[in-house]
Amino acid sequence: MTGEGPTEKQVVVIGGGPAGLTAGYELTKFDLRPVVLEKEGLVGGLARTESYKGFHFDMGGHRFFTKVEEVRKMWHDVLGGEFLRRPRLSRIYYNGKYFFYPLKPLNALFGLGFWQSVLIVLSYIRWQLFPYRREDTFEQWVTNRFGRRLFLTFFKTYTEKVWGISCSELKAEWAAQRIKDLSLKTALLSMFFKPKTTIKTLIEEFDYPRLGPGMMWNAVKSEIERRQGEVRLKSDVVGIKRTGNRIEAVVARRDGLEEIIRGTDFISSMPVTGFIKALDPPAPPAVLNAAARLSYRDFLTVVLIVNKPQIFDDNWIYIHDPSVHVGRIQNFKNWSPDMVPDPTQTSLGLEYFCTEGDAVWTMADADLIEMGRREIDRIGLARYEDVVDGCVVRVEKAYPVYDSDYAEYLSVVREFIDGLENCQTIGRNGLHRYNNQDHAMLTGMLAVRNLVLGQKNDLWSVNTDAEYHEEIREQVTDHDLEEVLEGALTQVFLKLDRVAMGLSFGLTAGALLFLATLALVLKGGHVGPNLGLLGQYFPGYTVTAAGSVLGLLYGFASGFVVGWTVAFLRNATVFLYMAVVHRRAELQALRRLLDYF
Amino acid sequence: MADEKRLLERMALTRALHLNATVQGVVTGLVTGLAIFIATNWLVLKGGEVVGPHLALLGQFLIGYRVTFAGSLVGFAYGFTGGYLVGYVVAGMYNWAAHRRERKRLGHV
C-alpha cells in the first residue's frame, strides 16, 4: 500500500478520536482494512483518558448516554459489562455557596437569599416586558429569557471563562442553536405526554466505562486491529496530496520521518483548519483565508492528587466565582472509583479554559499546579497541604468558536470540501461543529455508509440539538403512533381562516333569519311578535317579506362579525398557548445550558 | 431534519385549518339538541301555572314541540337535526372559502 497505487478500496482515516475510530470500526464491518492515523500517542482524541502514576483522568468529562440507537449499540457491543451506572451530581459554586445544577428554584432561592431572589424575579419580569429588540449576542439572548440578574449570577462569569470573550461579543447563535430547532411537533408532544422515568434517568444517571472513555477507544482500536485494520499512533498528518478534486495520499510524520500513505478514499476528523492548510497543491486563496479565520478554544487540566478518601459528592462543579481562574472541577473518583488506584486518595481535575499560546497555556506545569493548589484551598474544597502531587494535561482545539463571522467562513470551507470527490470530514473539529461524542460518532458511521453504500447523508447537519430534544420524542413508545399523533396535532394547531369563518357564519345566520322570517310570514295570522323584537337591534327589520330580505343582510353582517371574532380569538388563544409551550421548552433546555460546554 | 421542522412551522403559520364537516355537524347538533332538552326539562321541573311560555314559541318552527318531557325529546331530535345541518353547512362553507383563499394566496388561481 505505502508508496504504491491502491488496487482495491483502501480507506485512510485521519484522526483516532471517537469519530475517526468509529469510522474505522464501521469500515471493518464491510471487510475493508482502513488505516487510522492518530497524531497523539493514545487514542480517544478529545475523549481520551490520560494517566499519571496509576490515576486516570477524563479530559472534560464524558457521560455515556445517547438517543442514537446505533451509537448505544456500538458502545455496548464493544465494552459490554465494563460500564458502570453512575449517579449524576453537579453544582455551581458562586459567591461562596453551592447551587444545584440544573438549577432548582428552592435551592437557588435559599442560596441567593430573599432579597436577591426578589430582585431576580423583578428583573425577570422587567426583561419579559421590555426585552432587547435584537438578540445578536449571547448576553441579549439569555437576558431576554432569564432576566439580567440571573444572567449575571449564573451565566456571565462562567461563559466568559469558557470562551475567553465577553458575553456581549459572543454570538447568540451558539446558545440558540440548541433551542431554535425545537420543533412545533416536539413542543406540542411535550405538553401531551408526561416524561417517562427513563428520561429522568438519563439526566440523573449515566453510563461510564470503568476506566474512563479511553477504555472504550482502546477497545475499539483493538477491535479494528483484530479485523486486520491498522491504527497508527504518533502519526501526524502534515500533508494531503490532491489532484484536482481528488485526494491521492496523505503525508504522515512519525518519529521525525515522513511517510506517504495512499488511498482510494479519505475520511478526516482532523481540525478542518489544519486539513485545508495541509492540502498540496493548496486550496484556493478564498478557502485558505476562510479556514484561517476559524478559531478554537483550548483548555488544560491541572490534576491534583489529594490525601483524602472523599472530598465532595459531585461528579463536577462549575466555578462561576470570578475570584479564581478555574472554570470547572472534576472529581474523577465520583465518575468511577477505578479511576483512582489508592482509595485513601482522591484526584481532582481543575479545568482552565484558555487559548493556545496565551499566558495560562504557556505557564510552566509547576506554576499551574501551584495555582491549582491555591485556588482549591481558596474555594475550600481541599486544603493546600493535603495536595500531595499533580500534573498538567493540555487539550488543544477543544471547542470550535462560534464568533460573529464563523458561519460565513465555514460555508466557504464546506463548499470546497463538499467538492472533493473521495474525501469526507467528520467529528467535532472536522466539521467545526459543536457535536458531542455520540454525534461525532454518528458522523463517522454516516460517512462510512456514504462511502460504502453510496448513501447521501449530510454530515454537516448531524448536530448536537437532538440529544436533549429527542428525549421528548422518546416518550412515545410506538413510533407509528407518534407519527400519526404528530400529524394530527399539527393539523389541529393550524390557524382558522378568519374571513372564511366570517363568511360561513354570516351566510348561515343570514339564511336562518331569512327562512325563519319567511316561515312566519307564510304561516300568517298574528305574525311573529317575538321574532319582531329583533327590530330593536336591527333597525327597519320586521316580520314581513321585505323584512326577511333585510334580515338576510343583518344576519349575514352580524354572523360575519361573530365568525371572524371567533376565529380571531381561537387563533390568538392557540398562539398564546404555543408561545407558552415554546417558552417552557426553551427554559427547560436553558436550565441545562452549562452542560453544553 | 432542520428543513423538515422549518417546513412544518411555515405550514403552521401559513396554512389554514380545515374543518371536518361531519364532526362539526355532530358537535353542533349535540350541543343544540342538549340545550333544548335541558332548557325544556328545567322549566318542566320548575313547574308553575304556565310552563315556559317563551320557549314554547319554538313550536312555531318545530312542529310538535311543547314544553313537556315528551316535548324535550322532540326538541332534542329537532335540535340535533337542525344543529347538525347548521354545523355541517358552516363547516362546508368555511372549507370552501378557506380553500379558495388558500389557493389564491399560493398563486394557483
Query: What is the fold of A296-400?
Result: Polyamine Oxidase; Chain A, domain 2 (3.90.660)
Residue B62: is its pLDDT beyond 70?
Answer: yes
Counting one residue from A and one from B, how many pairs have CB atoms under 8 Å apart? 78
**CB spacing of B86 vs A508 below 8 angstroms:** yes
- Which chain B residues have a beta carbon less than 8 Å from that of A530? 54, 57
Residue A78: is its pLDDT beyond 80?
Answer: yes
- Which chain B residues have a beta carbon less than 8 Å from that of A516? 61
**CB spacing of B90 vs A512 below 8 angstroms:** no
Which of A320-334, A513-527, B29-43 comes out lowest in average pLDDT? A513-527
Helix H or strand E encompassing A560: helix A545-590
In this prediction, residue A519 carries a pLDDT of 87
Rounded to the nearest angstrom, the minimum Cα separation between B31 and chain A is 17
Averaged pLDDT for residues A397-401? 89
**CB spacing of A490 vs B9 below 8 angstroms:** no
pLDDT in tens, A82-140: 999 998 888 889 888 888 877 777 787 788 888 888 898 899 889 988 999 888 888 99
In this prediction, residue B107 carries a pLDDT of 61
Residues of B with CB under 8 A from a CB of A: 1-2, 5, 8-9, 11-13, 15-18, 54, 57, 60-61, 86, 89-98, 101-102
**CB spacing of B17 vs A516 below 8 angstroms:** no
Residue B105: is its pLDDT beyond 50?
Answer: yes
Residue A147: is its pLDDT beyond 90?
Answer: no
Single out the residue of A112, A170, A94 nearest to residue A136, CA to CA. Answer: A170
Q: Model-level pTM?
A: 0.69
Nearest-CB residue to B94 (from A490, A495, A501)? A501
Band of the pLDDT at A356, cuts 50, 70, 90? very high
- Which chain B residues have a beta carbon less than 8 Å from that of A184? 5, 8-9, 12
Averaged pLDDT for residues B80-102? 91
Averaged pLDDT for residues A262-271? 96
Q: Domain locations in chain A?
A: 11-62+212-294+403-463, 296-400, 498-583
Q: Looking at the structure, give the CATH architecture of the domain made up of residues A11-62+212-294+403-463.
A: 3-Layer(bba) Sandwich (3.50)
**CB spacing of A530 vs B54 below 8 angstroms:** yes
Residue A172: is its pLDDT beyond 90?
Answer: no
Q: What is the DSSP string of A79-109?
A: HGGGEEEEE--EEEEETTEEEEES--HHHHH
**CB spacing of B54 vs A493 below 8 angstroms:** no
Q: How far is the C-alpha of B109 from the C-alpha of B103, rounded, in Å?
A: 6
Averaged pLDDT for residues A265-276? 96
Counting residues of chain B whose pLDDT is more than 70, the rounded percentage is 82
Averaged pLDDT for residues A474-497? 58
Q: How far is CA A189 from CA A177, A267, B15, in A?
A: 20, 38, 20
Residue A308: is its pLDDT beyond 50?
Answer: yes
Question: Hey, what's the cell of A493?
Answer: 394547531
Rounded to the nearest angstrom, the minimum Cα separation between B17 and chain A is 5
In this prediction, residue A484 carries a pLDDT of 59
Band of the pLDDT at A203, cuts 50, 70, 90? low
Which of A146-155, A379-388, A396-405, B2-11 comes out lowest in average pLDDT? B2-11
**CB spacing of B17 vs A497 below 8 angstroms:** yes
Which of A40-44, A233-237, A330-334, B63-67 comes out lowest in average pLDDT? B63-67
Nearest-CB residue to A504 (from B5, B13, B97)? B97
Single out the residue of A365, A39, A33 nearest to residue A227, CA to CA. Answer: A33
| CB proximity list for A54: less than 8 A, separation 6 or greater | A341, A342
Band of the pLDDT at A464, cuts 50, 70, 90? very low
> Who wins on pLDDT, A297 or A402?
A297
Residue A7: is its pLDDT beyond 70?
Answer: no
In this prediction, residue A201 carries a pLDDT of 43
In this prediction, residue A354 carries a pLDDT of 94
**CB spacing of A496 vs B16 below 8 angstroms:** yes
- Type of residue found at A57: F
- Which chain B residues have a beta carbon less than 8 Å from that of A497? 16-17, 94, 97-98, 101-102
The mean pLDDT value of chain A amounts to 86
Which of A5-9, A310-314, B3-7 comes out lowest in average pLDDT? B3-7
Residue A527: is its pLDDT beyond 90?
Answer: no
pLDDT in tens, B41-58: 998 998 877 777 788 888
Averaged pLDDT for residues A216-240? 96
Band of the pLDDT at A511, cuts 50, 70, 90? very high
Closest residue in A to B101 (Cα) is A500
Closest residue in B to A490 (Cα) is B12
Q: How far is the C-alpha of A184 from the C-alpha of A188, rounded, in Å?
A: 6
In this prediction, residue A196 carries a pLDDT of 44
**Residue carrying the nine cell digits 465577553:** A166
Q: Which of B3, B4, B5, B8 has the highest number of chain A CBs within 10 A, making it the mutation to test binding with A?
A: B5
Single out the residue of A329, A231, A306 nearest to residue A27, CA to CA. Answer: A231
Closest residue in B to A486 (Cα) is B8
Cα A553–A558–A562 angle (5° rounding)? Answer: 145
Closest residue in B to A498 (Cα) is B98
Q: Using an 8 Å Cβ cutoff, are A493 and A213 in contact?
A: no
